[in-house]
Chains A and B, each alone.
Chain A
Amino acid sequence: MSFITGVGLTSFGRHEGSSTLDLMSRAAELALADAGLKRHDIDGVLCGYSTVQPHIMLATVFAEHFGIRPTYAHAVQVGGATGLAMTMLAHIIVQAGLAKHVLVVSGENRLTGQSRDAAILALAQVGHPDYEMPLGPTIPAYYGLVASRYMHQYSVTEEDLAEFAVLMRDHAADHPGAQFRDRITVADVMASKPVALPLKLLDCCPVSDGGAAFVISREPTSEAGVRIRGCAQAHTHQYVTTLPDFEQMGAAISLRRAAEQSGIAIGDVRYAGIYDSFTITLAMLLEELGLAGRGEAAARVRSGYFNRDGVVSLNTHGGLLSYGHCGVGGAMAHLVETQLQMTGRADNRQVKDASIALLHGDGGVLSSHVSMFLERVR
C-alpha cells in the first residue's frame, strides 16, 4: 500500500528570476509541510527533467541543493507522462520497503528561462531526427495531424474541441494559482490565432514557469488518506508517423491494466485528472478511457457532465490548458488538485464526491501512457 501524504504546487505563469531548482525547492517545501514531515524524513527522491537546466543527475543535484541525503534517488523521463510514472515508481518503491517517504518533485522556469522559439524547438525533438524533424514539425503540428485524423474518423468538429478549452478556463477561473483565469467562449477559441490547424492558440496549453511536488508514503501521516489503488503503463510507439490505429491506442491498454490491478471500474470514478496538452488530447483520452463514447466527449462537456458539480469532475484546477504547463510539473498539478479534492481541501473548487479518482498522463504523441486509480480512506 502507498499513500499520497502531502502535496505542493506553486502558481503557474511567470516566475521571473526563479531557476529550476528554486521552483522545485518551493514545491518540495510545500509538500513536506503538507505531509507534516521534515527534510530528514525523506529517504527517496524522484524528479523529472528540465529543458532549461538539462543535467545527467538532476535528482542528486536537487537532493544536495535541498539538503537531503536519500537512500534512493534518480530522475525519470517519459515526457508528459513523467509525473504519473514517478508516482507509480514511488508506489512500487515504498511497497517494496526500499523507502518510507519518497519525494516526487519537478519544476521548471520554462517560460522565462528561455525564448519561446527555444521552448518550441526543444519539445519538437520528440519527433524523428531523420524522417520528421527536417519537415519543420512542432508539437502542435504532431497533435494537429492526430486531430485532423480523429476529427475525420469520428465526426468531431473544431467547435467540439473548443468546448474543452472553455471548460478548463471555467475551472481555472476559480484557482488563484492558474496562469489564465479570464473566461472564454467557443467563439474566442475559434477566433484565436492559427497554430497548427486544426489547432488554434486556445486549443494549446501555454508555456509556464512553475513547480509541483508530492510525498508518497508507506503509511498515512494524517487522518485523511489518499491511497494508490493501482497503476499501469502502456507504450505503443514514439513518433506520430508510427501511431497505431485509434482502436489500439495505449490509453485504453494502460487503463485496462490499472483497472484489473485495482478492482476499480471506470464507472466508479467520481473525479478525473486527465492530461490535456491540447484540446484534442483531452477529447481523445476521455473517449479512450471510456469516460465518453467515441466522438461524444464534447457533448458531455456541453451537458455539464465534467463540471465541478457534474457526474465526473474533471481537472478542477484548470488543467494544462489554463492552469498552465511547466513541463513535468504541469501534469503533476492534476494529481495535486486530485489529492486536495479527495481530502476535502479544495476550497471554493471543492466537489461533492471525490472518493474514487482516475489520473491519466500521456507523453510524446499519445506514445507513453500511465493510468492510476486513487481511493480516499479514513
Chain B
Amino acid sequence: MSGMPDWTTGAQTIVYQSCAACGAAQYFRRRFCAACGVPDPQDQCASGGGVVFAASLVVRAATPEARAHGPYSVVLIDADEGFRMMAHGDSELKIGDRVRAQYRRFTGRLVPYFTRTPQ
C-alpha cells in the first residue's frame, strides 16, 4: 500500500484512513472508503491508544520462525480513533484494558505491541 509509511512497511506508526464524506475510519487502507465508496480517504496517524477488544495467547504457532518467539499474545485493539486492529500485546492483558502501542521485532519484522497504560 502506497501512502504514509506505517508498521506494515517498517515504520513505528499505526496509520488508518478517514473518509471526508461519511466520517468512517478504516484500518485496511485502500483507495476508496469501504463504508460509502467515495474515493481517496485521507491517511491519518493514530495516537497508539486504545482498549483491548479480544486476546488470544498463541501457544501452537504455524512456523518454526514464529515458534522461536515462544507463546505470543495476539490481540484486537479498539483504537481511540474508531477503528479496530490486530497486534501483539502483553500476555496479561485483559479485555477492556486501556493500552498504548509500542513496537517489537517478530519473525524479522516490526509489529505493534500493546501494553497496559499506567492508571
Which residues does A use to contact B, with CB under 8 Å?
117, 120-121, 124, 128, 130-132, 134-138, 140-141, 144-149, 152, 193-199, 239-242
A141→B74 contact, CB < 8 A: yes
B residues near A240, Cβ cutoff 8 Å: 76, 86
How many pairs of residues, A versus B, come closer than 8 Å at their CB atoms? 106
Q: Would you list 12 pairs from A and B whose C-beta atoms are within 8 A, ordered by A residue?
A: A121-B63, A131-B86, A136-B107, A137-B86, A140-B60, A145-B74, A149-B76, A152-B54, A196-B56, A196-B58, A197-B57, A241-B28
A131→B8 contact, CB < 8 A: yes
Choice from B62, B76, B86, B107 contacting A124 with Cβ under 8 Å:
B62
B86→A149 contact, CB < 8 A: no
A141 to B72, CA, bound (A): 11
B62→A120 contact, CB < 8 A: yes
**Given A135-B88, A136-B72, A144 and B56 touching (CB < 8 A)?**
yes
- With an 8 Å Cβ cutoff, the count of chain B residues facing the other chain is 34
Is B98 part of the contact surface with A, judged by Cβ < 8 Å?
A: no
A145→B55 contact, CB < 8 A: yes
A residues near B63, Cβ cutoff 8 Å: 117, 121, 136
Shortest Cβ gap from B101 to chain A (Å): 13
Residues of A contacting B: mostly: helix
B56→A197 contact, CB < 8 A: yes
**Given A117-B62, A145-B76, A240-B76, A134 and B56 touching (CB < 8 A)?**
no
**Given A136-B61, A136-B74, A148-B95, A241 and B85 touching (CB < 8 A)?**
yes
A198 to B109, CA, bound (A): 26
A241→B84 contact, CB < 8 A: yes
A137→B109 contact, CB < 8 A: no
Is B46 part of the contact surface with A, judged by Cβ < 8 Å?
A: no
Is B103 part of the contact surface with A, judged by Cβ < 8 Å?
A: no
B59→A194 contact, CB < 8 A: yes
**Given A145-B55, A149-B95, A136 and B66 touching (CB < 8 A)?**
yes
Is B32 part of the contact surface with A, judged by Cβ < 8 Å?
A: no
